Structure 1
Amino acid sequence: MRKRLLNEDDDSDDENKPIKRRAMKVIQLNPKTKTVLVIVLIFAAIIYLMNFPIFSSNKVEEFDIPNDNVHDVIKAEDAYVSPGSLKFKKRQFYLDGQPLRILSGAVHYFRIPEDYWDDILKKAKAAGLNTIDTYVPWNLHEDRPGNYYFAQHLDIEKFLRKANDLGLYVIFRPGPYICSEWEFGGLPGWLLKDPDMVIRSNYKPYQDAVDRWFGALIPKIKDFQRSKGGPIIAVQVENEFGHYSDEIEHLLFIKKVLQKYGIQEMLLTSDNGRRQSLFYNQALPTVNFQNFQNGKTDFERIKAQSKDFPLMVMEFWSGWFDHWGEEHHGRPENFILSNFEEILKSGASVSIYMFHGGTNFGFMAGANNADSPKYGADVSSYDYGAPISESGDTTPLYHGMRDLITKYTSAKFLPPGTFQHWNKRAFTQAVVKPGPVPPNREKAAYGNVEMLNFMSWTDMLDVMKTVTKDINTYKKPLPMEYLTMMESREGYGQNYGYIVYRRTVQMFTKLEVKGTMKDRMQIVISGGRDNKVLDWKSNYDYTMDVSSHSLREGINYTLDIIVENLGRANYANKGSKVMNKERKGITGEILLDDKPVENWTVYPLTFNRNFIHKIYTNDKYFPLSSLTKPPCLFRTNLKIEGPVPKDTFLQMEGWGKGIVFVNEHHLGRYWSIGPQKTLFVPAPYLKAGYNSIIVFEEEKVGKYVSFLDHPLLT
């Protein structure tokens, strides 16, 4: 069944109708004038039918409704009505009473060095965007309950102020769950200290934690709402919840808490209209997609709910993300541009996800397919194939999108009542004028740098003892979230990094974990590493044959079991509860030659800044000529000549797997299995003169590290 075009049912305002009738009674046209008028009308109609951009830029297309996929339609009077500055009527947004078509791009402040916010936002505006959207990572802002951090690259107020100063609107997406290929979807790992935790639900302890978090966050940003003169025009409730649960009561709870702490602007959801109709009276539904043909079905779900709901693509995916050990997931530029053009032609508003991806610095990359041999840990780069690259460069995709935005939004619109305004739907969007594009930042190739010396695994753990008192003995091995870290975490456990289970043992030939192990385990026996590593691909048979070590009877050995958290899952399908079980480390028993072993000393190896500082300045380093087997630490310096450092890319060719710190900044993971081959080193992390470099290598030692002037992501 076909429905008529939306612009046909967008009748003139009632107050204009009598004015038009009166005008028709008094105007007298002579034959010559009539002929000219007819010619003009025919010419205008031809242009319209040819889909010329000036007329088509805000026409909303109609599609066949797939009857098997549409939810029950709610009553029109029950559909959500925005109470904020941004309102909508008959498929059109209005901001402060003026028509607005939202052209947005996702820019995550927490993935970008603070010094680069200005450059990225200016490039977004130069592309013709009038809005940016950002998530908020709860786990970075509240690393343990009640301990909040809003400084440096997490200074959300400064970021919003910059957007406002540049004349950009903001769609604020506080979650608390954000997905985004981010560790645990932005949720803090300490939630899993509670063995009964049920995230993204009405489980009371989860609700209490969310309420406390929003009580800290929302008061900081509420004065940045449009109603108070700021840039925030809309706020998202949760994220893609329709793909996860039918517990609408939880969405109602999130909405209530947002408004409790001061949110007044329009609310929206982002789950392709796949919520039951009950929540359509609480927030505006929007859709996420990459292929416009698939997106049309999602549009119909929303249009079936209300004749007033405008069409909004909250996430038009400009590329895709990568997992370690897989091929690079690129998308053809012409495919992205053609689908973007279809969105612009359809008249929908859109936010490009990502417009600039940035970097998953530190241990903050997420994962997919938890509790499965298909588990995939995300790489450190979040380049995403976005219009602006990880290092801030405009790409051919950027310029292609900029050209399309110019093409479809370049018309100057006349007020109602003029002849040119005869097709109202063609003229109801704000004019966007892309400006000059800021130049890309310079990059530098600083060349090869050899390592100066190394620190053994045993010495590294000895140094750790001088930094923290959170090394404790537990009867049974515990996952990192269950640790009791009184000194640094007020009794809460470990969030990220590696967890080390240490014990003095005598000769054994087989080690077995009965229970779960997440995500990657290797063992070290008195300083020598076993050549076998167990991970999620082992189909949960966590057994190691260590007979090759030739251990002898009657001798005490130090056994270290190292387990790495490669990233908690950031996404789970509807009905799945795997994210509630994303505890990292060992849960269960450790058996040596089939006998359970108890009383393990546990080292929470988080590589926090205090530890890295102590490690770099320590004197327990030795010449490379006496190198022991990995895992171990390496130290060197990069000397930069000249007053101003430049962005660069660190290549770890010849190395195996590990993490890197430059001037105590954690760049992220490297891994020889790829696809990512370089780590982005922003210039603000560097300085003129000597720059400290620390490498923690787990498997294989290279000859040197290299600094390139270009990335290698495939």
Structure 2
Amino acid sequence: MWEDLIKKAKFGGLDVIETYVFWNGHEPSPGIYNFEGRYDLVRFIKTIQKERLYIFLRIGPYVCAEWNFGGFPIWLKFVPGISFRTDNELFKNAMQSFTQKIVNLMKSENLFASQGGPIILSQIENEYGPLGKRIGNEGYNYMNWAAQMAVGMGTGVPWVMCKQDDAPDPVINTCNGFYCDYFSPNQNYKPKIWTEAWTGWNGHTSKGRNYASVVPHPTSIRISHRTHFDLVNNENIPVYHFDFVPLETSEERLAKGSPLSDFVGRSELITEIIPTTERKTGNTLHLWRVTIMDDRFTIELPLSPKKSRSSLETTED
């Protein structure tokens, strides 16, 4: 899956792929690490490197991502006396240990740009600014500690903090949001970076979809997003199950997924027929066909190889 998706991203004109690092996936039990299968972070990064693309590694280790517990392992909750994301020694020790584990792993494979690798940016913490202000002095102390801890790991590449207006030098504060027109870094010698360009928002059952207006000159584009497996998200339905990315989770190109190099600065109303996509669920092959016409769409699919087709027609909210 990774190889094909990354090739399509490159074909679309992208040059940097960003990824979170999920603590609960990589350390499911204290000191027991998992870097196999879909958690094989090194293989993922080397696959991107093979296509001569760059990496923005968002270590966190709090990542949000509409992911249960924000990516924290559940065992962390039961450490006596721990308090998350504040000036708490137990939490800081655990966070530093995991962050160092990831950094050392990347260094051992020469994956940072300073070593000739593809990782050109790293992120510590995630959207902490609003929370830190509510916490007060302990939040401020924790934020500064996190920045100093990350920089002290000597990766040789810049670190960023998103939604952190007071990120201390040399950490770069970046923008997450639907619009970043009026965003500026807190020092004029820092680059302006749009970490997350929100084209939509997570949805909920029976409620409408939230989309941003078309951005005339996007600085970053999300080409695809993955399904949340294993019930790792609680109530939030990721909107990449809808149609706000050029590639859906099946990796088939949507009608709006024409080459992204053509998309920049231009947008069209999509009323085309989306080609049939083959999806495999267990041992059963399902064929989905979606037709979009104005504000209506129809879906046809066989429930199983032995059952006749059913049809669903609905109207957008």
Give TM class, smaller chain. 0.7 to 0.9
> Match for 1:379 among 237, 262, 267?
237
Deviation of 1:226 after TM superposition, in Å, equals 0.8
C-alpha contact (below 8 Å) 2:252/2:277 kept by paired residues? no
Do structure 1's residue 203 and structure 2's residue 88 form an aligned pair?
yes
AA partner of residue 193 (structure 2): M
**TM-score, scaled to structure 1:** 0.37
User: 1:640-661, CA deviations, whole angstroms, 9 ceiling, x for partnerless residues?
Assistant: 6xxxxx6767xxxxxxxxxxxx
Do structure 1's residue 227 and structure 2's residue 114 form an aligned pair?
yes
Do structure 1's residue 329 and structure 2's residue 209 form an aligned pair?
yes
Deviation of 1:280 after TM superposition, in Å, equals 4.0
Aligned residue pair count: 287
Deviation of 1:405 after TM superposition, in Å, equals 3.5
Alignment of 1:126-165 (within 5 A): 126-165=11-50
Deviation of 1:711 after TM superposition, in Å, equals 11
SS in structure 2 at match of 1:157: helix
Rg (Cα) greater in structure: 1
| Aligned residue in 1 for 2:231 | 363
Aligned mates of 1:240, 1:389 — CA distance in 2: 26
| Aligned residue in 2 for 1:236 | 123
AA partner of residue 326 (structure 1): S
C-alpha contact (below 8 Å) 2:144/2:168 kept by paired residues? no
Deviation of 1:321 after TM superposition, in Å, equals 1.7
Deviation of 1:381 after TM superposition, in Å, equals 7.3
C-alpha contact (below 8 Å) 1:288/1:315 kept by paired residues? yes
C-alpha contact (below 8 Å) 2:26/2:33 kept by paired residues? yes
Deviation of 1:444 after TM superposition, in Å, equals 5.2
Gaps of 5+ in 2: 134-138, 267-274, 289-298
Alignment of 1:39-438 (within 5 A): 116-194=1-79, 196-222=81-107, 223-246=110-133, 247-271=139-163, 274-276=164-166, 279-290=167-178, 292=179, 295-297=180-182, 299-300=183-184, 302=185, 305-323=186-204, 325-331=205-211, 335=213, 338-339=214-215, 341-343=216-218, 350-352=219-221, 354-366=222-234, 377-379=235-237, 382-383=240-241, 385-399=244-258, 401-405=260-264
C-alpha contact (below 8 Å) 2:66/2:238 kept by paired residues? no
Aligned mates of 2:312, 2:226 — CA distance in 1: 13
C-alpha contact (below 8 Å) 1:128/1:405 kept by paired residues? no
Alpha carbons of structure 1 residues 403 and 380: separation in structure 2 relative to 1, 3 Å: closer
Aligned mates of 1:208, 1:195 — CA distance in 2: 14
Deviation of 1:208 after TM superposition, in Å, equals 1.5
Alpha carbons of structure 1 residues 388 and 444: separation in structure 2 relative to 1, 3 Å: closer
AA partner of residue 286 (structure 1): T
Aligned mates of 1:389, 1:355 — CA distance in 2: 9
AA partner of residue 229 (structure 1): G
| Aligned residue in 1 for 2:270 | none
Alignment of 1:303-702 (within 5 A): 305-323=186-204, 325-331=205-211, 335=213, 338-339=214-215, 341-343=216-218, 350-352=219-221, 354-366=222-234, 377-379=235-237, 382-383=240-241, 385-399=244-258, 401-405=260-264, 442-443=277-278, 638=283
Aligned mates of 2:20, 2:14 — CA distance in 1: 18
SS in structure 2 at match of 1:153: helix
Aligned mates of 1:712, 1:218 — CA distance in 2: 49
| Aligned residue in 1 for 2:294 | none
Deviation of 1:235 after TM superposition, in Å, equals 0.6
What is the root-mean-square deviation of aligned Cα atoms in Å? 3.6
User: 1:521-555, CA deviations, whole angstroms, 9 ceiling, x for partnerless residues?
Assistant: xxxxxxxxxxxxxxxxxxxxxxxxxxxxxxxxxxx
Alpha carbons of structure 1 residues 708 and 195: separation in structure 2 relative to 1, 3 Å: farther
SS in structure 2 at match of 1:397: coil
Aligned mates of 1:126, 1:137 — CA distance in 2: 27
Aligned mates of 1:390, 1:710 — CA distance in 2: 22
AA partner of residue 240 (structure 1): E
Deviation of 1:252 after TM superposition, in Å, equals 3.0
Alpha carbons of structure 1 residues 330 and 172: separation in structure 2 relative to 1, 3 Å: same
Alpha carbons of structure 1 residues 310 and 191: separation in structure 2 relative to 1, 3 Å: same
Identical pairs, percent: 25
C-alpha contact (below 8 Å) 1:137/1:187 kept by paired residues? yes
Gaps of 5+ in 1: 1-115, 344-349, 367-376, 408-439, 447-636, 641-645, 650-676, 678-702
Alpha carbons of structure 1 residues 226 and 234: separation in structure 2 relative to 1, 3 Å: same
Alpha carbons of structure 1 residues 379 and 266: separation in structure 2 relative to 1, 3 Å: same
C-alpha contact (below 8 Å) 1:137/1:178 kept by paired residues? yes
C-alpha contact (below 8 Å) 1:318/1:355 kept by paired residues? no
Alpha carbons of structure 1 residues 309 and 260: separation in structure 2 relative to 1, 3 Å: closer
User: 1:58-117, CA deviations, whole angstroms, 9 ceiling, x for partnerless residues?
Assistant: xxxxxxxxxxxxxxxxxxxxxxxxxxxxxxxxxxxxxxxxxxxxxxxxxxxxxxxxxx00
C-alpha contact (below 8 Å) 1:381/1:390 kept by paired residues? no
Deviation of 1:351 after TM superposition, in Å, equals 3.2
Aligned mates of 2:176, 2:106 — CA distance in 1: 26
